[in-house]
């Protein structure tokens, strides 16, 4: 039995403050958290996620309590502490007096001269909490815990459900699994989980192919039956729809399911979940492409665990002349780089990392990728365009613009295209518990190549 004492709260607060400060400087948690010592990482992640979900409110409260901004390191510590002291629906993670005491202890170690200031600010907030909360919530950033430009963009794109979308973004997401159909069915795996004391349910919507399972309670992946042997992977329900839409016959049928041996390109493939799902769905000739060698190594590790084979190549999907061998693809999955605005439940740092100007640059990149990859598709072939975004400029507007460029030539939108999936409890009728949000925000479009157009000349690709 491991008798190692848990890390002290002051240390977790200190490291969480470092993470929040780094996010404010433009660094992502996916980069920061792996650098935290393993014994401290779960606690630091939990505190940091909680702080980022309430960061707008904490910032406004600190601004009201201390009109003269403290040093950035001290401000970050206070943002974390104020976020954790903020009243919520459930019980607080720590008693108020414990949190204040430990925040002051952290301040003594990172900025000794500011310890008294930290103590005074937090105690005043507790004395005046109702007043301070009411005052802060008059500002949109504190009310919704998103940057003002993000709120305005959602109001513009989704004038009806914008408030529900912002509220859903601060919910804790479910843990969803993709069962490897080469090993067992989704229904059988639900029974296997039940036998292991991990209750779960199968998502009944046909769009998931009977392989999407939602756990009643999240757990460590190494406790999942058969995970190490490749029986199951962690993947959100929305993300599972992309590969299934490409490989299987949609409700209206493109030309039926992809045949065995079909040549498939998974562009922007890392970290490999969709590559693996394609190979679970059929015996396809898959090329997994990504422009980041380190991220491509994650694709390799994923395929190894699942005992699947694909060709991996490092290359820029927008420049086929540097990697394409000239042979057309029967199907292309383009999971394009995007704002990731649909997955902020899982990555609460995203909202604070993005800037309004990012959308313009990302939309331009998505358009370049569509235009570069379309000529590589064989006549009669299919392409799925996917983004984990809820901003229309990265979804329907992107596809509308592409069809204006190509629709009169050789491209058509298939009627089975799901379109925009929103992070709302009643979206698409999933078999979920009442009021529970089942999937992330996603956009999916299925495009069909209607006739042959000469593809650009391609030099022999470099050896992988």
Please identify every residue annotated as catalytic.
388
Q: Give every CB contact of residue 340 below 8 A, 6+ residues apart in sequence.
A: 347, 350, 354, 388, 389
- Pairing label, strands 285-290, 311-314: parallel
The DSSP call for residue 236 is: -
The DSSP call for residue 303 is: H
Q: Exposed, middle or buried, 264 (CB in 10 Å: 0-12/13-18/19+)?
A: buried
Query: Which is nearest to 436 in space by CA: 238, 214, 233, 242?
Result: 214
CA distances from residue 281 to 183, 239, 249, 269, 308 in whole angstroms, order as listed: 11, 15, 11, 16, 11
Cα–Cα distance, 46 to 10 (Å, whole number): 14
The total of other beta-carbon atoms located within 10 Å of residue 59's CB is 22
Cα–Cα distance, 14 to 19 (Å, whole number): 9
Q: Give every CB contact of residue 426 below 8 A, 6+ residues apart in sequence.
A: none
- What's the distance, Cα to Cα, between the start and end of the chain in Å? 47
Q: Which helix (H) or strand (E) holds 420?
A: strand 419-421
Cα–Cα distance, 449 to 330 (Å, whole number): 10
Cα–Cα distance, 164 to 86 (Å, whole number): 21
The total of other beta-carbon atoms located within 10 Å of residue 149's CB is 13
Cα–Cα distance, 81 to 315 (Å, whole number): 44
Cα–Cα distance, 322 to 338 (Å, whole number): 23
The total of other beta-carbon atoms located within 10 Å of residue 346's CB is 14
∠ Cα 427 430 432 (to 5°):
110
The neighbouring-strand residues paired with 333 are 266, 384
With H, G, I as helix, E, B as strand and everything else as coil, classify residue 230.
Answer: coil
9-24 and 72-85 are packed helices; what angle lies between their axes, rounded to 10 degrees?
Answer: 120
């Amino acid at each position: 039995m491991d008798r190692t004492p848990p890390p002290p709260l002051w240390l977790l607060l200190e490291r969480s403050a470092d993470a929040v400060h780094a996010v404010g400087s433009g660094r992502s948690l996916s980069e920061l958290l792996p650098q935290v010592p393993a014994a401290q990482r779960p606690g630091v992640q939990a505190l940091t996620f909680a702080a980022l979900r309430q960061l707008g409110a904490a910032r406004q409260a600190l601004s009201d309590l201390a009109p003269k901004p403290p040093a950035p390191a001290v401000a970050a510590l206070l943002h974390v502490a104020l976020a954790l002291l903020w009243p919520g629906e459930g019980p607080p993670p720590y008693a108020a007096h414990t949190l204040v005491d430990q925040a002051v202890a952290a301040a003594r170690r990172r900025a000794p001269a500011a310890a008294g200031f930290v103590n005074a600010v937090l105690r005043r907030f507790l004395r005046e909490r109702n007043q301070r909360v009411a005052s802060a919530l008059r500002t949109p950033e504190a009310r919704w815990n998103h940057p003002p430009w993000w709120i305005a963009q959602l109001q513009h794109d989704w004038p009806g459900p914008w408030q529900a979308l912002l509220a859903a973004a601060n919910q804790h997401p479910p843990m969803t699994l993709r069962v490897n159909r080469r090993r067992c069915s989704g229904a059988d795996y639900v029974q296997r989980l039940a036998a292991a004391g991990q209750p779960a349910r199968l998502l009944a919507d046909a769009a998931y192919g009977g392989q999407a399972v939602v756990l009643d309670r999240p757990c460590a992946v190494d406790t999942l039956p058969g995970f190490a042997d490749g029986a199951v992977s962690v993947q959100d329900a929305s993300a599972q729809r992309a590969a299934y839409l490409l490989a299987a016959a949609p409700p209206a049928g493109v030309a039926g399911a992809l045949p065995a041996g079909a040549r498939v390109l998974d562009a922007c493939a890392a970290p490999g979940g969709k590559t693996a799902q394609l190979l679970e769905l059929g015996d396809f000739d898959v090329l997994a492409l990504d422009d980041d060698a380190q991220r491509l190594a994650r694709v390799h590790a994923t395929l190894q665990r699942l005992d699947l084979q694909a060709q991996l190549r490092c290359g820029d999907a927008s420049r086929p002349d540097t990697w394409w061998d000239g042979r057309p693809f029967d199907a292309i999955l383009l999971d394009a780089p995007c704002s990731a605005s649909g997955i902020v439940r899982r990555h609460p740092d995203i909202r604070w990392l993005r800037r309004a100007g990012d959308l313009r640059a990302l939309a331009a990149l998505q358009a370049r990728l569509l235009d570069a990859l379309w000529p590589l598709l064989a006549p009669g072939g299919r392409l799925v365009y996917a983004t984990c975004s809820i901003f229309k400029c990265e979804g329907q507007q992107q596809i509308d613009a592409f069809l204006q460029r190509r629709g009169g030539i050789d491209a058509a939108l298939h009627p089975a295209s799901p379109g925009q999936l929103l992070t709302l409890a009643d979206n698409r009728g999933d078999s979920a518990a009442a009021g529970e949000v089942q999937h992330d925000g996603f956009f999916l479009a299925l495009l069909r190549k209607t006739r042959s157009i000469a593809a650009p000349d391609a030099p022999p690709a470099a050896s992988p």
